[in-house]
Amino acid sequence: MSAVFRRSPVQLYLPIAEIPVNIFVIFGMGGAVGFLSGLFGIGGGFLLTPLLIFSGIPPAVSVATVTTQVVASSASAVVTYWRRKAIDLKLASVLLAGGIFGSLIGVILFDILQAIGQLDVVISLSYVTFLGTIGGLMLVESVRAMRRRRSGEPPRARKPGQHNWVHGLPLKVRFRRSKLYVSVIPVVGLGAAIGFLGTVLGIGGGFMMVPALIYLLRVPTSIVIGTSLFQILFTMAAATIFHAMGTKTVDIVLAMTLMVGGVIGAQFGARMGQNLRGDQLRLLLALLVLGVGLRFAVDLLLVPEDLYSIAIQKGAGL
């Protein structure tokens, strides 16, 4: 290896990751993912974390730092929904209680996996599974919607008052804002599941939370996004603190660069998104999600370039 080091103004040394990065590349990544998240109305964690991992930031630092970035991007959106009063605070609080618990379990598992050297493969496998499933479902749904529109067939309306197994569970609580009377068990469970996944994978989980709230709990669509964002904001805030204390991999300099890029990109994305139709957007998003999932799958299946890897367990720099 040649040992020529130049001092360059675009190189930024990350104090926790302990590597220098090109500040414009990181800023650009934040901006690009922010643009997409504004375009599709998603948090973007599931795109940003893989992007950082693929660009050579250690997976542990990527995951923990993106939880911080998600706090910023959801805080920005929560302000808008708060003003419109489109948040069910009671529902969000119950979800949050579950979320914090799930997040705590997530950090503990993260620590264990890191110690035994299986963190990277678990992150990759989980991404393949979730992105594959959700991308596939979205692809099918959006293609169906486009066909329906072309044939002029009206979308099937859901019957009001339709119930599923969730509504038969005990410990029912009334959520006035959402016009719901439902058991707290699935609400806490849902919060915990998303909090857990978010902490381990570095995603907000909005793309799983929103469909679950709509189809499983029947939360009105006008309230669902604000409530989901509110819960994600505080679950990810908890995840940031847990990661900072447990895995010590939150890089505040990396997070800040991503945040600034992200919030700016999101504004442009949101503007462009208004000119595209819903089913087209969902098709694009589905392809994007599947693409990222596929990339992880390829990395897992192909013979690695190097079979060996090293990890510092104790001593300097730790």
Q: Which residues contact 192 (CB under 8 A, 6 or more apart)?
A: 98, 99, 101, 102, 105
Stretch that binds another protein, among 5-13, 41-49, 91-99, 186-194 (CB under 8 A): 5-13
Q: Does 260 bind another protein (CB under 8 A)?
A: yes
Least spacing, CB of residue 171 vs another protein, in Å: 31
Among positions 110, 134, 243, 293, the unique one binding another protein when judged by CB under 8 A: 243
Rounded to 5°, angle at Cα 61 from 44 and 318: 170
Query: Which listed range, 13-21, 169-177, 183-191, 205-213, lies at the site for another protein (CB under 8 A)?
Result: 13-21
Query: Of 25, 173, 245, 276, which one interacts with another protein (CB under 8 A)?
Result: 245
CB of 36 to another protein, least distance (A): 16
Q: How far is the CB of 92 from another protein (least distance, A)?
A: 16
86 binds another protein, rule: CB under 8 A? no
Establish if 275 lies at the interface with another protein (CB under 8 A): no
* 19 forms part of the interface with another protein (CB under 8 A): yes
Out of 3, 161, 162, 163, the only residue in the binding site for another protein (CB under 8 A) is 3
Closer CB to another protein, 157 or 318, in the complex: 318
- CB under 8 A: which stretch of 25-33, 142-150, 203-211, 236-244 binds another protein? 236-244
- Residue 66 contacts residue 199 (beta carbons within 8 Å): no
Is position 301 an interface residue for another protein (rule: CB under 8 A)? yes
- In angstroms, the CA 272 to CA 114 distance is 40
What backbone torsions phi and psi does residue 27 show, to the nearest 5 degrees?
A: -60, -45
Q: Is 304 in the site for another protein (CB under 8 A)?
A: yes
Output the CA torsion 28→253→40→227 (10° steps).
Answer: -170
How crowded is residue 294: how many other Cβ atoms within 10 Å of its Cβ?
14
Q: Pick from 37, 49, 69, 142 the residue near another protein by CB under 8 A.
A: 69
Structural contact between residues 220 and 230, judged by C-beta atoms closer than 8 angstroms: no
DSSP 36-104: HHHHHT---HHHHHHHHHHTT--HHHHHHHHHHHHHHHHHHHHHHHHHTT---HHHHHHHHHHHHHHHH
